[in-house]
Amino acid sequence: MAANLEDQLIDKVRALPPNKQQEALRLLDTLASGATADPNGTSLDRRPIWEIVEEVNAGLPADTWDSVPTDGSINLDHYLYGAPKQQP
């Protein structure tokens, strides 16, 4: 099975134009190294979203969130489209 898979990979790579072969090589190098990056070489952040939000918030002034509505989830249509406000 492994040889068959290798043959399939080789056939597909040979069918690619040279620029796509380079892209495939970079992707395979990334996969082989265990690094977390997309095919363009951009590093991917694997932290939970709440850690990223906390990091972003840490650099903001304290009053940044004062102007954000607290009823945004229930009145999303109001804030996005101007629909009448719902009761909280």
Q: Give yes or no for a contact between 25 and 41, defined as CB atoms under 8 angstroms apart.
A: no
- Predicted local confidence at residue 42, as pLDDT: 67
The ranges assigned to domains in the chain are 1-30
pTM across the whole model: 0.38
**pLDDT of 31-70, one tens digit each?**
787 766 565 666 667 788 999 889 988 988 888 888 888 8
- Predicted local confidence at residue 50, as pLDDT: 92
Flag whether pLDDT at 1 surpasses 60.
no
The residue type at 21: Q
Kindly report the average pLDDT of the chain as a whole number. 84
What Cα–Cα distance (Å) separates residue 40 from each residue in 18, 20, 22, 25, 30? 16, 12, 11, 11, 10
